[in-house]
Amino acid sequence: MVTTTEVDDERPRTRRWARLLGPVLWPSFLVAAIATAIFFAHIDPLTLQAQTLTDWQISRQAGYTVGFLMFWAVCAGSSALTMYLGATPVPDSPGPRSER
């Protein structure tokens, strides 16, 4: 049986993860979708596969999927790095010294 205190204890942890992952995953998903559309509007996945990975036999749809996931991973890494750098506290530094 779950008590109300156990449920209340889980909510802050869930909200914390949502606050950390939401600003990273959602914008990176949108940018990956745009990047995929632009990239694959000019490059056919089967042509790319034939020129780079000749041993692999993949479908066009699998090429689109792998491309999207790769774009999403790169965009998520960029968003995560931006969030990390934005959340890192700046060390206190003394102001400019005035010499007399």
Q: What is the pLDDT of residue 94?
A: 67
Of 51-55, 67-71, 89-93, minimum mean pLDDT range: 89-93
Domain assignment present for 32: yes
Query: What are 11-66's pLDDT values in tens digits?
Result: 677 777 777 788 899 999 999 999 999 999 999 999 988 888 788 888 999 999 99
The whole domain housing 53 covers 25-87
**What's the domain count of the chain?**
1
Domain assignment present for 3: no
Which among 76, 77, 71 is positioned nearest to 45, based on CA atoms? 71
Domain assignment present for 100: no
Burial class (CB in 10 A: 0-12, 13-18, 19+), 86: exposed
Q: Which two tokens stand for residue 24?
A: 């990273």
Q: What is the pLDDT of residue 13?
A: 74
